[in-house]
Structure 1
Amino acid sequence: MKKHVLIIIILIGTNLQAQNLNDFFNQSDAFFKANVKNGKVAYSKINDNPESLNAVLTIAEGISVSESDAKNYQAFWINAYNLSVIKGIVDNYPTKSPLDNSGFFDKTTYSLGGKQITLNDIEHKLLRPKFKDPRFHFVLVCGALGCPPLISKAYLPSTLETQLETQTKKAINGSFLKVKKNKVAASKIMEWYKEDFTINGLTEIDFINKYRTEKIPAKSKLSYFEYNWNLNKQ
């Protein structure tokens, strides 16, 4: 009898977790659709009415995801990162740049997934080292214009692979790269995280050409243009 009760309790707990995770994805999706347009965020609007942002972050506090459930895990932490960046900006609003706020990435903590955690912890401890996927750099949005654009929807486990591919292609064929004749300049992201773009014996050019429609010569030498840290506001 005790065994049956234990099984029922476990099943109820599992179902509640799944429901909470679905609620998180649904509310995140609604929030991004309402407050993000063309990669820019309506910080002033959110600052005036932060209820929907706070509500979805409250759900995120109690979410439990395992890295063995990779798609749910990755989608949760990508959205949690992007939402927390917005929360950090709104908590310091008005501000011109995330860098204007001391400790924005490495000191300010958020209650997410049962942890007290910084933005850098999410990126550099929970995602990059565990999955070694350079495409994370095109979906984790730091609140600045130099970042890849924030999309106006949530990252979902069912569509994550397509979304990662789509955002990487957009960046590599867009503002992430400047190509003029034989000169190729890339975002500083590619310099800061060179090790992510050169895994498995690839060169940076190999990675670029995997996603770029108009290929660049394999012998091209990369330079890096300065990062624009101005706020990605509407």
Structure 2
Amino acid sequence: MKKHPLYVALLFMGIISAQDLETFFLKTNVFLETHVKNGKVGYGAIHEDQSTLDEILRIAKDISIETSDAKNYQAFWINAYNIATIKGIIDNYPTKSPLDNKGFFDKTKYSLGGKHITLNDIENKLLRAKFKDARFHFVLVCGAVGCPPLINKAYLPNILNSQLDTQTKKALNGNFLKVNTKKKKVEVSEIMKWYKEDFTMDGMTEIDFINKYRTEQIPDNYKLGYFTYNWSLNKQ
């Protein structure tokens, strides 16, 4: 039987011996390829048949990765966050927004990676606190239109840095910000307001961070503002 190309990639990486992690990445990849299009999720189809989603969550339940294995750790928890978010939406489906469901981010717990944790725990305790990488904000997708778009592939350890860069560049060269040259003003997603400390590390300004990834540079003298976050469901 012909092997899925992702299987071959994982075999080359030497991850194939970690059977559960390999299976998690493979099944997450196929699931996202099937149900995500142009950053939007086909929640209706997933709700009708939840078997693959539940299988992925069962596999993820007991996977254990140390922070010292940084790329595997980060790739696992980014995917786990995105899959758990979809599970949270499905458990409350139909819904118009993740915020319509009380405790969606800070109360509802998932059994993942040998832990019983919330979405906020994954984002803030397992990723942000340990790695200080603002690019996480462009790959953790909270189920809303205002989030960066969900890609239809799994995040993988051997290409994770490239994937993080790609998604950050897409956001900062796309609708994550609005530039008004006449008023010398740039408005950005409220994500950059809520997590300002992540975008201003090491003496960097928000505009400095933006310009690291933006093709058309924002002048230093532009005024920075924030536009209202769109919490509508990111459904197809």
Contact 2:145 2:234 in 1 (8 A): yes
Matched residues in 2 for 1:78 and 1:72: separation? Answer: 10
Q: Displacement of 1:62 after TM fit?
A: 1.0
- 1: CA distance between counterparts of 2:223 and 2:197? 17
Structure 1 unmatched ranges of 5 or more:
1-14
Instruction: Tell me if the contact between 1:17 and 1:63 (Cα under 8 Å) persists in the aligned partners.
Output: no
Give the superposed CA RMSD: 1.1
Pairing 1:229–2:216 present = no
Q: In 2, Cα distance between the equivalents of 1:95 and 1:175?
A: 24
Shift of 1:17: 7.1
The two structures have a TM-score, normalised by structure 2, of: 0.92
**Aligned-partner residue type, residue 210 of structure 1:** K
> What residue in structure 2 maps to residue 7 of structure 1?
none
* Distance in 2 of aligned mates of 1:148 and 1:232: 10
Structure 1 residues 185-234: Cα deviation after superposition (integer angstroms, max 9, x where no partner): 00000000000000011110100001110001012111000000000000
Identical residues among aligned pairs (%): 69
Q: What SS does structure 2 have at the residue aligned with 1:21? A: helix
Contact 2:24–2:59 (CA under 8 A) maintained in structure 1: yes
Aligned residues: 220
- Are 2:16 and 2:22, in contact at CA under 8 Å, matched by a contact in 1? no
Which one-letter code corresponds to 1:229 in the other structure? W
Q: Secondary structure at the match of 2:186?
A: strand
**Taking structure 1 as reference, are residues 74 and 224 closer, same or farther at Cα in structure 2, changes over 3 Å only?**
same
| Residues 81 and 140 in structure 2, CA contact (< 8 A), matched pair in contact too | yes
Distance 2:43 2:175 in 1: 23
Of 211, 214, 224, 1:212 maps to: 214
Secondary structure of 1:159's aligned partner: helix
Once residues 103 and 187 of structure 2 are traced to their aligned partners in structure 1, the CA distance between those partners, rounded to angstroms, is 29
Match of 1:9 in 2: none
* Letter aligned with residue 57 of structure 1: L
Of structures 1 and 2, the larger Rg is shown by 1
Any conservation in 2 of the 1:17–1:64 contact (CA below 8 Å)?
A: no
Gaps (5+ residues) in structure 2? Answer: 1-14
- Structure 1 residue 61 displacement after superposition: 0.3
Question: Is the Cα contact below 8 Å between 1:139 and 1:167 reproduced in 2?
Answer: yes
Alignment correspondent of 1:56 = 56
In structure 2, the CA distance between the partners of 1:17 and 1:101, relative to structure 1 (3 Å rule), is: farther
Q: Show the 5 A alignment for 1:23-172.
A: 23-172=23-172
TM-score (norm 1): 0.93
Aligned counterpart in structure 1 of residue 194 of structure 2, from 192, 195, 202:
192
Distance, in Å, in 1 between the alignment partners of 2:146 and 2:139 is 13
